[in-house]
């Protein structure tokens, strides 16, 4: 069994709920990512994506110093780091999500994305993707 933590390829970028929108945008730019996980006490409480910054921030004329909690998607679905990678893949597909915070006992340790399953997948994941695409 391949664990979900073994699939994660990108960096984990976090910020607190009171961090400024401009701070999140700078983090995304600096680390070449499209999302920041909002944490409190090490636990994921929300996710802010580039789209959130544009649609919920700029489009509503929020200032760059507005706090992240005003634009984040709250209460993200999470998955345990020790879970089977196929469980993460199915969660992403069934819920039409692009990213899942990975936790150990509720504490954030990584962020798995749909892209993690597409970029240079190991043979086990290739079989998983092909099996889930088979309608029979």
Give the domains, in start order, of the chain with CATH numbers. 4-133 (3.10.580.10)
Q: Which of 69-73, 93-97, 108-112, 117-121 has the lowest mean pLDDT?
A: 117-121
Residue 131 has pLDDT above 70, yes or no: no
**In this structure, how many other beta carbons lie within 10 angstroms of the beta carbon of residue 49?**
20
| Per-residue model confidence (pLDDT) at position 136 | 56
- Buried b / exposed e over 11-42, threshold 16 CB at 10 Å, is ebbbbebebebebbbebbeeeebbbbbbbeee
Residue 92 has pLDDT above 80, yes or no: yes
Alpha-carbon span 86 to 88, nearest angstrom: 5
At 31-53, the pLDDT tens digits run 999 999 999 999 999 999 999 99
Q: What are phi and psi of 58, to 5 degrees?
A: -60, -45
| Per-residue model confidence (pLDDT) at position 64 | 95
At 23-32, the pLDDT tens digits run 999 999 999 9
Pairing of strands 43-49, 73-74: antiparallel
| Per-residue model confidence (pLDDT) at position 128 | 62
At 3-14, the pLDDT tens digits run 999 999 989 999
Residue 122 has pLDDT above 70, yes or no: no
SS3 content of the chain, % helix, strand, coil (to 5): 40, 25, 35
**Mean pLDDT across 67-95:** 94
């Amino acid at each position: 069994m391949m664990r979900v933590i073994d699939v994660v390829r990108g960096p984990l970028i976090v910020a607190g709920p009171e961090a400024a929108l401009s701070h999140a945008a700078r983090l995304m730019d600096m680390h070449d990512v499209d999302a920041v996980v909002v944490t409190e006490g090490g636990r994921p409480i929300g996710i802010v994506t580039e789209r959130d910054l544009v649609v919920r921030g700029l489009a509503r004329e929020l200032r760059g110093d507005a706090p992240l909690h005003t634009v984040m998607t709250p209460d993200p679905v999470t998955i345990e780091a020790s879970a089977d990678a196929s469980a993460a893949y199915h969660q992403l597909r069934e819920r039409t999500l692009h990213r899942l915070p990975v936790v150990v006992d509720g504490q954030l340790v990584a962020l798995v994305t749909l892209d993690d399953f597409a970029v240079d997948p190991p043979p086990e994941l290739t079989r998983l993707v092909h099996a889930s695409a088979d309608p029979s």
